[in-house]
Structure 1
Amino acid sequence: MDKLIKSKRIEGEKSSHFVKLLRYSSGELYVQLEQTIFGQPDKHTVKINPAQLIDISETLSIYAEELSFLMDNFNRDIIKKEEQQKIISTFLKGISIKDLSLQFRYKEDAIRDLLIKNNVEIIEGINMSAPKWKFRKKR
């Protein structure tokens, strides 16, 4: 049986990844990368030999530099955990999705998806302002 030493979860928009450092029963270490795509029951797993880990990480960093122009636009749609909590708490205080998109600079669809993902009920079209008093002039 393999023993888990460390693990890190990386969550994306449509999938999550677990990067695990494991020890074989023989004592050797290896890295396991596990991908779970939301909406699909099966997981994809890759085991990486530690001797090849440096070469793989260098190759990935080179690819990241080449794709940096795409990453700037892509990372804007991924909301960090701290901001997710702020957006949810602000929405629950009564701020509309449109105002949240202006405040946090995310698309309305991304905020709506975040709220749905966190099981927050979305009710729109309700006027939250206080009723206006109508005064009548006495004659």
Structure 2
Amino acid sequence: MREIELEQAIDLLFTLLGEASDSLRISKLRVRVLFGTDDAAKTGLYLGYFSTLCGMVTPFLENTFDMKDYHVSADADFDADHTEWAFTVFCSIRPLRLALILLRHGKKLYRMYKNLTKKEEAIENE
């Protein structure tokens, strides 16, 4: 993902969460990421980016939602050549409110989805 696309994705994530704050309930959130790339310097950068993102998102989630159980962990494996991750969330949202939010931001979400699937296809075809 290019830096601009990542910035747009984070902005859209905050927008969606902000709009859903009155109707979304997050009861459990678990995120585990183990970064690994062919280049140790790149692995360290990704770990730093993720830690920065967590530093921005976690206070927002704590202040916006009543989360009872959450845990985020990140680590780097400088010998690995791939990244492993796991994400678990238990949440509930009012369906009508979700539909309105998705309709309002549907074009942006669809463009991001198409962009990501194009990149995955390009990687698979290499």
**Do Structure 1 and Structure 2 share a fold, with TM-score over 0.5?**
no
TM-score (norm 1): 0.27
TM-score (norm 2): 0.29
User: If you compute each CA radius of gyration, which structure gives the higher value, 1 or 2?
Assistant: 1
